[in-house]
Amino acid sequence: MAAVHHNPIIPGFSPDASICLVNGTFYLVNSSFHLYPGLPIYMSSDLISWKHIGNAINRPSQLSLSRATTFVGPLDDGTELVATGGLYAPTIRHHNGITYIICTNVIHGTSNVLGDERSEQFFIHTTDIRSGSWSDPIIFEFPGIDPSLLFDDDGRVYVQLCKTGPEFEIYNSEIDITSGAMIVEPTLIWTGWKKGYTEGPHIYKKDGWYYLLCAEGGTFEYHMLSMARSRNIWGPYESYEMNPLYTASGTTQYVQNTGHGDLFQDLDGQWWVVMIGVRMKEGRSIMGRETFLTSVDWPCNGWPTIKPITCDGNLEANFKPEGQDPLAASWVYLRDAKLDRYHMQNNRITLKSDLVEITSADESTTFVGQRQRRLEGTATVTVSKPQHSTSVRAGLALYKDEHRFLTIEYDFHSQQVIFNGINRAKLYSLSEIENVELQDFVSFKINYTETSLQFSFRVDEAAWHDLAALDTALLTDHDFTGPVIGIFAIGDGIAVEFRDFEVDAVQSQETRV
């Protein structure tokens, strides 16, 4: 099965993949951090073609993302870490006709300082994954991240978690899957192989062994997969003598920072793994952490061998884009969005402007967009001049978080086209301004490649005019999130109409940067 697949299988902002097989169909879920709706669900019948079919957190009443803010602070080596809160590292499993997702909501404190946070563990469930009808979260307490589920042969249900603190260690507990109550309190089972940022645990029962798969080394250049096993789920666990099970660290491979994986079998019994990776070109990884797939050889009573990840020239070939349908699963907002400010119909989107700026960590600015899926493409939109007031700014943005974004906008009051580029992790700031009068509308365009970004505009039917050009290295950081391209409106309640918004259009040869 899946002799030919194209990596990444889920391109763009798609970290921490987990996967399960339900009635012959594979379902995959990713972390979503600060984006609403959260926990995107992708479907495939063959591990080759993938489609985004919905999101498991799809009602504001399920949980709050109001404190899914972003901290910026130094790591031990002085590198700036850009850490966004929200929905971390879900695990998806299916048992007795019910599909479960277990996850962490990381809630940042108001100080916006690294370490001022708490974590809320929860799971949700559905009997019909394609319907999008997920339960409200069932919450349980544990001071950590990355929960996983194991349904054992005897009917017991176990949760594995990473306890954070100065040390990252793996704990196991037994849980009542109907109520979330702990039957056996979390117990330390493994401190890891390298004993550095041991996280992302999953346990698989095979050949009478409990195999524990973990990520180690942190999610950046030293990322890896390691494994241990035990005859008893509570341990003791013996580390694999050939650890790390998989890593790109120390290699020149195009796909770097590999780790945080989930093992699974297809209908033929073949083993596979999905894992994080980034496409790295000369220090640039503009797409962030993406989902990659590779096959696994796992002999009876033995240890798995993961085949090297390949990344061919036919990128995104089998990922089906959602398009601009107002009902598509691909639309995302920031944190706890005020959904009554958005109206979509056909190719037109009306935003009711708000005074909340894109830099706000406390409220959700009026912004809606889609994940960037292609390395090379074009995003465009046309903005109509408001009829009754000019107290508004509106435009097009490439957004990663409130500290890092690139925008091109029109200020209808000052009659200026303005480009703003911000990356506080790099202490970078750039503004370009042009005075422009318009009669009816202004259009914006972002041309992007793996290494460059170009921001342009045109007034009414005039020719395109380039305003700013940048290197994608400016948005490459030690971070958790990926690029989202969207539209925004900032003002005192004025309605702004956008039309023909498009992301990931294929560039013509003439328009390539």
- The terminus-to-terminus CA distance of the chain in angstroms comes to 39
Residue 402: active-site member: no
- Position 507 confidence tier, pLDDT thresholds 50, 70, 90: low
| Confidence (pLDDT) at 325 | 74
Asked if pLDDT for residue 512 goes beyond 50, the answer is: no
Place of tokens 């690294």: 114
Q: Is the dihedral of CA 353, 358, 362, 368 positive or negative?
A: positive
Q: Residue 328 has which token pair?
A: 């598509």
Residue 16: active-site member: yes
Asked if pLDDT for residue 6 goes beyond 90, the answer is: no
Contact 287, 13 (CB under 8 A): yes
- Position 281 confidence tier, pLDDT thresholds 50, 70, 90: very high
Place of tokens 């009068």: 437
Q: Please give the backbone phi and psi of residue 413, each rounded to the nearest 5 degrees, phi first.
A: -85, -50
- 37: cis peptide before it, omega within 30°? yes
Asked if pLDDT for residue 163 goes beyond 80, the answer is: yes
Dist. CA 268–CA 442, nearest whole Å: 55
Q: Quick one: three-class SS letters along 373-412?
A: CCCCEEEEEEEECCCCCCCEEEEEEEEEECCEEEEEEEEC
Q: Please give the backbone phi and psi of residue 511, each rounded to the nearest 5 degrees, phi first.
A: -95, 0
Mean pLDDT, the chain, integer: 94
Dist. CA 197–CA 213, nearest whole Å: 13
Tens of pLDDT along 207-265?
A: 999 999 999 999 999 999 999 999 999 999 999 999 999 999 999 999 999 999 999 99
Contact 34, 337 (CB under 8 A): no
Domains of the chain: 17-306 (2.115.10.20), 326-505 (2.60.120.200)
Asked if pLDDT for residue 280 goes beyond 60, the answer is: yes
- Position 511 confidence tier, pLDDT thresholds 50, 70, 90: very low
Q: What is the mean pLDDT of residues 412-428?
A: 96
- Position 3 confidence tier, pLDDT thresholds 50, 70, 90: low
- Of 16, 354, 401, 409, the catalytic one is 16
The neighbouring-strand residues paired with 259 are 276
DSSP 322-333: -TT-TT-TT-BE
- Of 80, 146, 199, 401, the catalytic one is 199
CB atoms within 10 A of CB 414: 13
Ramachandran category for residue 46: left, alpha or beta (phi over 0 → left; psi -120 to 50 → alpha): alpha
Ramachandran category for residue 26: left, alpha or beta (phi over 0 → left; psi -120 to 50 → alpha): beta
DSSP 87-104: EEEEEEEEETTEEEEEEE
- Position 312 confidence tier, pLDDT thresholds 50, 70, 90: confident
- Position 314 confidence tier, pLDDT thresholds 50, 70, 90: low
| Confidence (pLDDT) at 1 | 56
- Nearest partner of 43 among 32, 54, 33, judged by Cα: 54
Dist. CA 41–CA 29, nearest whole Å: 5
